[in-house]
């Protein structure tokens, strides 16, 4: 039976291969493969801001390791509840301007445990789930046993049609994400919150691929909607009527932009205490080791104060998208930091990834079914603050070469075929699904990038932000000066 299941994976080209890639802290985003002398540049890491090698984070972990040892010693209820865990949860609650937070071993566990525990506790609960939600949310919905409806991605009309089928008194929960990791599209948070108020639903927002990177303090896309108000308000203080304030439950990760590992929820004190008291995924697992908690606290505090990493990431993303568009390499349109390059079939996607690694010493993992639909296989690129102009030029040249060598479809080819997942499609139609504000191209707007740039220059006494600022962003700053 095992071999039959594996044979199916090989046959449809969705079998997963794991590359031996060892990221080098002193040279990140570079790494070595199984052979230590073979250095490659990593362009697909979810350590989005390079925090895993930030000296502030590393030193906090070393201090905690020397002071408290390597392991937690048990579950939170049995010897595994330390001052560092409580401090981490307080930091997360402050970051999201919520009453409380709860830390889990991962955000997969946080989503699964919270959705299954909460929705199984609400008699007759109905869950409304975005079609592109992460597997962890799907798993939690399944484990809850609640009735569910799946609405088309970011389709507010479809969601409202489903909500309208039930009386306001029926317990409801809408589960969605802020940044969808494989497409880079952004959830329509204010509009979904408005529908939730109209029909009496709880909002459950996954900010896994947004925390650390959006908002002036790194609280995510919900914070970013009220960028100026969040800058003015004291840290941790509730901003009544803000988008962040309208979201009932926020889930996030410590393992991506924060550079560590772990997951969490942030919500009201009563909801967090209920999950703490009933969720098996929290109760019956060993808690995060103290060095992990210490590193997470340091990373959250650092990114709450620093705009440098967010600024560099966003400027590099803009330049890379522009360069790939000029080269005719098909990028799935979105307003976020994700750069999905459409290939269209699993075998070709793996071949492109293999060729980038073997011929160009560039690591970009291919993404196949079931992570993305069949026919939408892609390479997923994530520029970070550590990538420089030379690395970007090498990547664009390598992708152009691979596309020519393998005869892969370019943007004009997808246009002739009628388009796919936003590539080669009518812009007005694709904007219905990419999210964010209609007619606004990027979540990070020009004025916000300039503010981040000026803030960092002032904070560092006028020292230029490095790596070098891409030319297009220099032009934005000059135009707005």
pLDDT of residue 439: 80
How far apart are the two ends of the chain, measured CA to CA in Å? 66
Strand partners, 150: 129
- pTM, 2 dp: 0.93
Q: Is the pLDDT of residue 477 over 50?
A: no
d(CA 256, CA 296): 11
CA nearest to 95, candidates 104, 103, 107, 106? 103
In sequence order, which residues have a C-beta less than 8 Å from that of residue 5 and are 6 or more positions away?
A: none
110, β-bridge pairs: none
Give the residue-averaged pLDDT of 117-139.
Answer: 97
H-helix or E-strand spanning residue 11 = helix 2-11
**Per-residue confidence (pLDDT) for residue 376, from 0 to 100:** 96
pLDDT at residue 210 is higher than 50: yes
Cα gap 34→120, rounded to integer Å: 46
CB neighbour burial string for 332-360, b if at least 16 within 10 angstroms, e if fewer: bbbbbbbbbbbbbbbebbbbbbebbbeeb
CA distance 283 to 277: 7
Confidence of residue 465 (pLDDT cuts 50, 70, 90): low
Q: Note the pLDDT of residue 457.
A: 86
Q: How far apart are CA 257 and CA 218, in angstroms?
A: 9
For tokens 């070709």, the residue is 348
Bridge partners of 126, per DSSP, are 147, 172
Determine the Cα–Cα distance for residues 384 and 45; give it in Å rounded to an integer.
9
Catalytic positions are 256
DSSP letter for 285, please: S
Task: Locate 236 and state its tokens.
Answer: 């941790």
Q: Give me the mean pLDDT over the 24-48 stretch.
A: 93
Residue 393's closest CA among 468, 309, 314? 468
Beta carbons within 10 angstroms of residue 276's beta carbon: 17
> For a pLDDT cut of 70, what percent of the chain falls above it?
95
Q: What percent of the chain has pLDDT over 90?
A: 85
Question: Per-residue pLDDT tens for 378-395?
Answer: 999 999 999 999 999 999
Residue 452 is inside which H or E element, if any? helix 446-459
Residue position matching structure tokens 């990547």: 395
Of 129-143, 219-233, 286-300, 463-477, the one with minimum mean pLDDT is: 463-477
Whether 462 shows a pLDDT value over 70: the answer reads: no
Check if the beta carbon of residue 133 is closer than 8 Å to that of residue 112: no
Distance CA 403, CA 393 (A): 16
Q: What is the pLDDT at residue 219? A: 98
For the residues of 34-77, what is the DSSP string, one character each? SSTT-EEEE---S-TT-GGG-HHHHHHHHHHHHHH-S---SBTT
């Amino acid at each position: 039976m095992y071999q039959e299941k594996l044979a199916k994976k090989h046959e449809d080209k969705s079998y997963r291969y794991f590359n031996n890639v060892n990221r080098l802290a002193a040279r990140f985003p570079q790494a070595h493969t199984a052979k230590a002398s073979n250095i490659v540049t990593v362009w697909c890491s979810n350590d989005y801001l390079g925090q895993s090698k930030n000296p502030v984070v590393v030193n906090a972990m070393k201090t905690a390791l020397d002071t408290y040892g390597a392991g937690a010693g048990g579950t939170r209820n049995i010897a595994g509840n330390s001052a560092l865990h409580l401090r981490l949860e307080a930091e997360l609650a402050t970051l999201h301007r919520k009453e409380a937070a709860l830390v889990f071993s991962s955000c997969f566990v946080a989503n699964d445990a919270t959705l299954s525990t909460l929705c199984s506790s609400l008699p007759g609960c109905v869950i409304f789930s975005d079609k592109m939600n992460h597997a962890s949310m799907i798993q939690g919905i399944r484990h809850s046993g609640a009735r569910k409806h799946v609405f088309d991605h970011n389709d507010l009309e479809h969601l409202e049609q489903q909500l309208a089928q039930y009386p306001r008194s029926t317990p409801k929960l809408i589960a969605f994400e802020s940044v969808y990791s494989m497409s880079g599209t952004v959830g329509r948070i204010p509009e979904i919150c408005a529908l939730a108020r109209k029909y009496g639903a709880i909002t459950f927002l996954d900010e896994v691929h947004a925390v650390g990177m959006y908002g002036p303090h790194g609280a995510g896309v919900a914070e970013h909607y009220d960028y100026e108000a969040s800058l003015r308000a004291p840290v941790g203080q509730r901003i009544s009527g803000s988008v962040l304030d309208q979201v009932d439950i926020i889930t996030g990760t410590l393992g991506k932009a924060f550079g560590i590992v772990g997951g969490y929820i942030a919500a009201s004190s009563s909801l967090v205490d209920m999950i703490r008291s009933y969720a098996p995924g929290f109760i019956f697992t060993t808690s995060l080791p103290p060095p992990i908690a210490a590193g997470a606290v340091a990373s959250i505090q650092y990114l709450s104060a620093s705009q440098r990493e967010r600024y560099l990431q966003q400027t590099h993303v803009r330049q890379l998208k522009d360069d790939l568009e000029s080269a005719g390499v098909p990028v799935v349109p979105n307003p976020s930091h994700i750069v999905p390059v459409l290939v269209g079939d699993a075998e070709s996607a793996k071949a492109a990834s293999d060729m980038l690694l073997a011929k160009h010493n560039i690591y970009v993992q291919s993404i196949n079914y079931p992570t993305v639909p069949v026919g939408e296989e892609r390479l997923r690129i994530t520029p970070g603050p550590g990538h420089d102009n030379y690395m970007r030029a090498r990547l664009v040249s390598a992708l152009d070469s691979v596309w020519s060598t393998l005869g892969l479809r370019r943007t004009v080819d997808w246009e002739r075929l009628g388009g796919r997942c936003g590539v080669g499609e009518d812009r007005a139609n694709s904007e219905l699904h990419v999210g964010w504000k209609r007619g606004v191209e990027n979540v990070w707007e020009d004025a916000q990038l300039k503010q981040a740039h000026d803030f960092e220059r002032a904070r560092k006494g006028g020292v230029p932000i490095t790596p070098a600022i891409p030319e297009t962003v220099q032009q934005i700053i000059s135009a707005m000066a």
